[in-house]
Structure 1
Amino acid sequence: MKPIDSSTLALLDLRCPRCHQGQLFSYPAYKLTKYAVMPERCPVCSVAYEPEPGFYWGAMFVSYAFSVAWFAIGGVAAYYLFNNPSVWVYMLLVTVLVLLTAPATLRYSRAIMLYLFGGIKYDPSYQRLEPDSSQRNRANAPAAL
Structure 2
Amino acid sequence: MTRFVKVTVKRQTDKARYQVKVRPGQVTLGQKLSPSQLVTNLSSLPKKSKETSALLTVTVNNPADSSRYTPVLLAAKTQVGKAIAASSLIANFASPPAGSQASYLTVPDFAKAGSYKTQIKVTYPDKSTWTSSEFMIEVAPGAESTQSN
TM-score between the two structures when normalised by the length of structure 2: 0.21
Q: Comparing both structures, which one devotes a greater share of its residues to helix?
A: 1
Q: Comparing both structures, which one devotes a greater share of its residues to strand?
A: 2
| Higher RCO (CA-CA < 8 Å; seq separation 6+) | 1
| Structure whose CA Rg is larger | 2
